[in-house]
Amino acid sequence: MWTSHIRVKGTSMSEAKFARYKGLIILIILLFISFTLMGFSQTKISIQFKSLAFAVLYPFQFAGVTSITFVKDFFTSMKNNKYLKEELIQTKKMLEKYERTQYEFEEIKRENERLRRLIGIQSELEYETVIAEIVAKSPQNFYKTLIVNRGDKSGIKKWMPVVAYQDNVKCVVGKVIDVQQYSARIHPVIEQTSYIGAMLKDKRYSGILVGQSPLSENCLLQYVNRQIDIHYGDIVVTSGMGGVFPKGIMIGEVVSVSKKRYGIFQEALVQPKVDFGRLEEVYIITKKVTEEFNTLFKED
């Protein structure tokens, strides 16, 4: 009788204690799971799991984001309807101008090819591109990941370089980091975990361009020879080293230079040419990334 009473009392006491600390226990368990997930994030299993989870999540995200964009576009188009006629006239004028420019461009291109052949320089390789629309982005401000509506079915492969045309200039956006059947995730050049080979266009000195987001939208050009003078406004382009980006694509302009008292290198802050805020579509260069680079990256 006594034993059973104590047991009942004991059970109810432990239940009461559990109820009291239930929230705290759940908190500890959830924080432990989150921390463990962070610890294993760089493993192959975790990366594959994330890729698979993204493939499952993408259709819902696409449907949701498209609905929001549709509503926004509906109201915007109603508002802009009256300006359409005016825009059409202007577009026709621009088209005529571009047709003339296209003809001149073809002429210059042919002449350039002929001169290159004369002095024995091999033509630069031209790559095919796939146009892709940005359909979503990372919901956290902390990351700048972009999601596009082209994937494996359109011939997109991992590590392919991504560019955009803004103000008639071809400029670097980032590289493809994950490919699904109908979507791909792009790792932008401003992300802090992004490293690309870059060089100063006029001075031809190269370095490594590192992203700074979320701290800044600018990038840092590191490991540039200390002996050269870098000035405000100097153009930075891709160096072609690293195997992902073809050589000579516009990255941005130098906005400041920092030289430490010691060391053999200097650093420059580079403002990317591409405005990520008004980026709507991108071009994925269907360039096969060299196998050596792929292996190297996987080993990393």
Partner 1 sequence: MRKYIIFILWIIGVFFLQSSPLYEHIGVRGVTPDFLLIMISLAAFILGPIAGQIIGFITGFIVDIIPAVELLGLSAFAFTLIGYVVGIAGQKVYGNSVLIIITLLFVVTLVKAIVLSIFAALFLEPGYFGYFSHGKIFLEAVLNSVIAPVLLIIFTKIERKTA
Phi-psi region of 238 (alpha: psi -120 to 50; beta: other; left: phi over 0): beta
Using the rule CB under 8 A, which residue among 31, 88, 94, 115 binds partner 1? 31
Asked, as a colleague might, if the bond just before 139 is cis with ω within 30 of 0, I would say: no
Using the rule CB under 8 A, which residue among 8, 12, 14, 39 binds partner 1? 39
Using the rule CB under 8 A, which residue among 53, 94, 95, 255 binds partner 1? 53
- State the sign of the Cα–Cα–Cα–Cα dihedral 192, 145, 42, 208: negative
Site string for partner 1, 195-234 (x = CB under 8 A): -----------------x-xx-x-----------------
| 16: contact with partner 1 by CB under 8 A | no
φ, ψ of residue 262 in degrees (nearest 5): -125, 175
Using the rule CB under 8 A, which residue among 65, 208, 235, 257 binds partner 1? 65
Using the rule CB under 8 A, which residue among 4, 81, 141, 227 binds partner 1? 141
- Report CA-CA distances (Å) from 46 to 39, 49, 58: 10, 5, 18
Report the alpha-carbon distance of residue 177 to residue 183 in Å, rounded.
11
**Cβ(287)–Cβ(246) below 8 Å:** yes
Using the rule CB under 8 A, which residue among 3, 23, 81, 85 binds partner 1? 23
223 alpha carbon, distance to own chain's centre: 22
φ, ψ of residue 20 in degrees (nearest 5): -70, -40
Residue 245 Cβ, how far from partner 1 at the closest point, in Å? Answer: 17
| 48: contact with partner 1 by CB under 8 A | no
**Cβ(293)–Cβ(196) below 8 Å:** no
Stretch of 84-92, 132-140, 240-248, 292-300 lying at the interface with partner 1 (CB under 8 A): 132-140
Contacts of 288 (CB under 8 A, 6+ apart): 157
Residues touching partner 1, count (CB under 8 A): 56
Using the rule CB under 8 A, which residue among 68, 118, 119, 121 binds partner 1? 68
Residue number with CB closer to partner 1 (43 or 90): 43
Give, as ranges, the residues between 231 and 290 that touch partner 1 (CB under 8 A): 277, 279-280
Quickly list H helices, 143-219.
Answer: none
| 297: contact with partner 1 by CB under 8 A | no
Site string for partner 1, 154-193 (x = CB under 8 A): -----------------------xx------xxx---xxx
Q: What is the DSSP string of 239-287?
A: -STTSSSPTT-EEEEEEEEE--SSSSEEEEEEEESS-GGG--EEEEE-P
Residue 185 Cβ, how far from partner 1 at the closest point, in Å? Answer: 5
Residue 295 Cβ, how far from partner 1 at the closest point, in Å? Answer: 18
Report the alpha-carbon distance of residue 162 to residue 175 in Å, rounded.
5
**Cβ(174)–Cβ(158) below 8 Å:** no
Query: Residue 42: helix, strand or coil by DSSP?
Result: coil
| 59: contact with partner 1 by CB under 8 A | no
Using the rule CB under 8 A, which residue among 2, 3, 4, 42 binds partner 1? 42
- Report the interface residues with partner 1, using CB under 8 A: 22-23, 26-27, 30-31, 33-42, 46-47, 49-50, 53-54, 57, 61, 64-65, 67-69, 72, 134, 136-143, 145, 147, 177-178, 185-187, 191-193, 212, 214-215, 217, 277, 279-280
